[in-house]
Structure 1
Amino acid sequence: MSIEQRVGAGSGTRRRLLAVALAAVSAAALAGCTIPTRAESSEKVETITEIVVVPPEPTETPGAPGNDVGPLAGFDALSNTLGGAVGIALVPVGGGQSLVAGEWHSGAAWSTIKVPLSIAALHETDNTQLAAVERAVTTSDNESAEELWRDLGDPATAAAKVESVLEASGDASTAVESRTLRPEFSSFGQTQWSLAVQAQFAATLPCRSDAAEVFELMGSISPDQQWGLGVIPAARFKGGWGPDTDGGYLVRQFGIINSGTGQLAVAIAAKPDSGTFADGTAMLNDIGRWVGERAQALPIGGTCQPN
């Protein structure tokens, strides 16, 4: 998997107080995580109708900012040490409100969109694309994701099919991007996906029969991408990263971890003031450790509801 290009410096104003020393990223690793669109084809939209879990309409509940109460108490203090804009959203598996903290809330999905894309592809082809799905999820392979997108039809048709996957999890607000906004990147990677809504989507994955293969693959992410939620034992997750127009990194992830009362969906993101990928992943590592240390004490885990 290639590392997505540098992203813009973002909106964070705080300076990093914790110095993080990381190995230099190789030049070959600095290619984009998302891919340009190839030839288009036309195909009738077949929407996904199976809904195992339908959570409430996504809403954001502040995570007790500025005090020591609630599951996200202390996150603001952590974010003040990280040297950039960060955000987090938590939702219990089985459905619930998004508990959010931090100043970063929404932006390009980058390769996190490969999860609903892969689910749509498997629904479309009855598992004949499982090998491409495995590469797209576990190593974030761009050519495989491009293949999955192309096989869904022309861009508008493909976007509608991926949106149907999101809608089956209760997300009626995220519009999958079908236009080529930046020629060097795929259209779907530029989809605007908020942390609160993304965590709502993640909270349904363990409960959806049509997502079983993809959710299993999220537990076998390539070792070079085991940052952020990857520092938490038994986490299932997918990351995405890519360049903003001013050249600095956005690095984000979402997934499922175990809590003391069940399973918990987590979505996190970082835009370092330095703009470097190394600082972005280091910030997510700090957040991942912070969440992992508190996971068993968190009272907001959940389980899948009976059909």
Structure 2
Amino acid sequence: MARRLLAAGVGVLVALTTACTGSPARSDGATSPRTSSSTSTASTTAPTGRPATALARSLGRVIGAHPEAEIAVAWSPVGTKGAVRVVGDAQPLVAWSTIKVPLALAVVRAGHGQQMGPDIDRALTASDNEAAGRLWADLGGGHRAATAVEVQLERGRDRRTGVPPRVTVPGYSPFGQSTWRLTDQTRFTAALPCLAGSTSITQAMGRVADGQRWGLGGIDGARYKGGWGPTPGGYVVRQLGIVTGAKGATAVTLQVRAGNHQEGIAVADELVEALRSHRGDLPTGHCP
């Protein structure tokens, strides 16, 4: 199913992502041929369209301390159609294992959530690639599975991201090759808790395995999914998540391209420390 290209420019960019797997030694994604190439605009150290907040300044300091890395963070209130705010240089990159969230949701919506429950759990809590492959097969594989995942993305207000139906890079899953722009990923994540069938998905995102609790895992109660892997320009780590506060919840996404996995997650940890210190600046929302 070919995805529609948004004619309007997004004003902020999406960042690099790479593949995650059940073990950091193997990755599972690559660039999707089914999405448009995006031109990058100037990076920013403050949320687009708003004066710099203490949070934006703090994130900007983290970004500035790592000139060798490419870093971006985005957020939007849960359950609303509010704007996505971005700090950093966000460019479109592959989704890697973050795409396992809409993949799992597609299986639930197909009515197979109970029988595929163990694989859903493994795919989301441990980023198990074999389990994710079984979810893809359960959806019929190929174009049927790709379309099913795209339907869930569209339910989450992402009308641009395409999912390859076939392997495009040997050794990597087709779905992990999807190019998922940071802004689109943030919109989907903000809608996720409000989508029918998402409860088991978000619950699993709150039980991430030891060793994968970097970044957003440093925030108590966060529900999140990571992705990681090598790219020609460096090693990428990526996360999407939901951060809950006293007055509501916020979708937060981040991506870092650095020299290796450890450097990437170290930067992600620094970004989340800034988020923790200025959580009051995050706009919160609720499901209708």
TM-score, normalized by the shorter chain, greater than 0.5: yes
Q: Could you tell me how far 1:299 is from its partner in structure 2?
A: 5.1
How much does 1:259 deviate? Answer: 3.5
Match in the other structure for 2:26: 32
Deviation, structure 1 residue 34? 2.3
Q: Compute the displacement of 1:72 (Å).
A: 2.2
For residues 224 and 203 of structure 1, the distance between their equivalents in structure 2, rounded to whole angstroms, comes to: 25
Q: 1:137, 1:29 → 2: CA distance?
A: 13
How has the CA–CA distance of structure 1 residues 227 and 299 changed in structure 2, closer, same or farther, with 3 Å as cutoff? Answer: closer
The answer on whether the counterparts of 2:239 and 2:254 sit within 8 Å (CA) in structure 1 is yes
Give the C-alpha shift of residue 251 in structure 1: 0.3
Structure 1 position 289, deviation (Å): 1.0
Q: TM-score w.r.t. structure 1 length?
A: 0.76
1:228 counterpart letter in structure 2:
G
Looking at structure 2, the residues matched to 66 and 103 of structure 1 have their Cα atoms a distance apart, in angstroms, of 16
Deviations 1:264-297 (A, max 9, x none): 000000001xx210001101011111111111x1
Q: How large is the RMSD of aligned CA atoms in angstroms?
A: 2.5
* 1:87 aligned partner: 72
Q: Structure 1 residues 33 and 211 mapped into 2: Cα distance closer, same or farther (>3 Å)?
A: farther
Structure 2: stretches of 5+ with no match in the other structure: 1-14, 17-21, 31-43
Change (3 A) 1:29 1:259: same
The question of 1:220 aligning with 2:207 is answered yes
Q: Distance in 1 between the 2:77 and 2:53 partners?
A: 18
AA aligned opposite 2:247? T
Q: Provide the residue aligned with 2:165 in structure 1.
A: 178
Q: SS at 2:250's partner residue?
A: strand
1:131 alignment counterpart: 118
Q: Distance in 1 between matches of 2:117 and 2:159?
A: 27
Superposed CA offset, 1:203-242 (max 9, x none):
1122123111011100000011000000111110000012
Q: Following TM superposition, where does structure 1 have runs of at least 4 consecutive aligned residues deviating by more than 6 angstroms?
A: none
1:234 aligned partner: 221
What is the one-letter code of the residue matched to 1:303? H
Aligned partners of 1:79, 1:276: CA distance in 2, in Å? 17
Judged with a 3 Å threshold, the aligned counterparts in structure 2 of structure 1 residues 126 and 258 are, in CA distance, closer, same or farther, namely closer
Of 63, 66, 83, the residue aligned with 1:97 is 83
Spell out the pairing of 1:1-307 with structure 2 (5 A cutoff): 29-34=23-28, 63=47, 68-69=52-53, 71-82=55-66, 83-95=68-80, 96-124=82-110, 125-245=112-232, 248-259=234-245, 261-272=247-258, 275-295=259-279, 297-298=280-281, 300-305=283-288
Amino acid at match of 1:262: G
Give how far 1:64 is off. 5.5
**Residues paired across the two proteins, number:** 253
DSSP-derived class of the 1:34 partner: coil
SS of the aligned residue for 2:93 comes to strand
Check the 8 A contact 1:180/1:186 in 2, yes or no. yes
Gap regions ≥5 residues in structure 1: 1-10, 13-27, 37-60
Instruction: Flag the 1:301–1:142 CA change in 2: closer, same or farther, 3 A.
Output: same
Deviation at 1:33, TM superposition (A): 3.8
Q: Which has the larger radius of gyration?
A: 1
Instruction: Give the percent of matched residue pairs that are identical in Structure 1 and Structure 2.
Output: 34
Deviation of the 1:71 alpha carbon: 4.8
